[in-house]
Each structure stands twice: as C-alpha cells, then as structure tokens.
Structure 1
Amino acid sequence: MDADYDIFETVAVIRDFWLVDAESYQRKYCTSHGQALAPGYYVVNWPEHIRARRFNDHAAFHGPFKLRKEAQEALAWMHKERELVLTRSAEISSVATLNVTPLEVKKADSQRLHLLKPQKLCKAVAA
C-alpha cells in the first residue's frame, strides 16, 4: 500500500535504506547519490510535478535533525516558504508584460526549495 504523502513529510531514518514515514510505516528508501543517510529525522520533499511520491531519487532529504521537533519546525518553515512562492507566482501572473509564464516561475521556485542545503534550512529554522 502506498501512502498519500504531502509535498513535504517528516520521516525518521532508522538504519541504512530504511525509514519510518509520517504514518509510522517502515519503508525502504533510496537516494540520488546511492548512499545511505545518517540516522535521524528528515524533512522530505518532492517536486510539484511528481504525483507518485515515493522515497526514491525524486525525493530530497533535508537533515538530519537530532529531534523530531526540529524536523517539524523545518517542515513548518518549508510550508511557509512554499506559500510565499505561490503568492509571488500569483502576483507575477497578474503582470501581462513578462515573457515568463507563472508555471515557469512556480517550477523555478519549487526547485529552489527542493535544492535547499540542510545547513541553510537549520539556520532558517533557528531564526
């Protein structure tokens, strides 16, 4: 059974290539670099266009965080940033003189969130 994951999820990596998802199921994962993640809590996010959200090379793992609470704060921060991106995309779409489509802006901003470095994310959560 596949879970219906949100665009962001908090997971706990428990050992090499195994995690516990937000619904407390143990799942296998893989990474784009083929290496196991350090044990701890992670915020996982997927690009907007990915509908089948599995813990594979499409997933970006942000962490590790020592405490679940830290990962949940990072998740809340990422949701807030996403809302700002969506708001900005909507504002840009109302300007007819741009040669860039709102979808292109949304995709670029989604990639920016997807590529956040864990160090930047930790600093943003601490702020």
Structure 2
Amino acid sequence: MVVDDGSLIRLYYREALEAAGFEVAEAINGIEALEKVLTDRFDLLIVDINMPKMDGVSFLRTLRARDGEAGAIPALVISSEAGEQDARDARAAGANYYLVKPVAAADLTLHVAVLTGTPSGGALA
C-alpha cells in the first residue's frame, strides 16, 4: 500500500509498480492507512513522512505497537526529508528502509521486490 498525501506521487508509484507486476492500494494519510491495514492484508507499506492528520512516523509507531501480522508488515519510507535524523526517526519508528524523493521507478521497483521477496512482481495490495 502506498501511503502519501500527494496524488501525483501515488499515481507515479502506482504506475511504476503495476508495470512491474505488483498490485497497489493507496491511502492519503496515516489514519486511512491504519484503517486499511487493520481490515486488509498487505505485503508492504510505502510511507511518506509529511502527511496531514497522521504523519508517517506516527503511523509506523502506532502500527508497530500492535501485536499480530499487521505490526510486522515491511515498510519502505520515501520522503522529501533528506536529513540523517529524519532517516533515524523513521527507522526507530519501524521503517525497514528509507529513501529520499525523488526515486526513480527502477529503484522503487527494486526496493519493493527485495522487501517483498518477489523479484518478478507480486501483490502489494
């Protein structure tokens, strides 16, 4: 699931990932993402940091505090925040990997494939 408040970012990620064979769901902030994660199954979360209502770090902290499968979903944080402290905060909140925007489509699909263990594409729904 792509969690980002930017509609163009979500569209860019969706198109790149679907072209690589992944299924993609979307959420516009951490609250919507949390609701979806608690009702559906996801293989990976691609999370922005700066979002309204609930930012990416708060979303990951909340999710990682939960028991069960939802709290263990791998998370790739992609943010415009390039500071080392931002990356440390994201990792401390539960991010498995941190990238700085902009991210090339090939880099995005490579990281998604590695984190999901599906190098030829698969479900990111």
Normalising by structure 1, we get a TM-score of 0.29
User: Which one has the largest radius of gyration?
Assistant: 1
Structure in which a larger fraction of residues adopt helix: 2
Structure in which a larger fraction of residues adopt strand: 1
Normalising by structure 2, we get a TM-score of 0.29
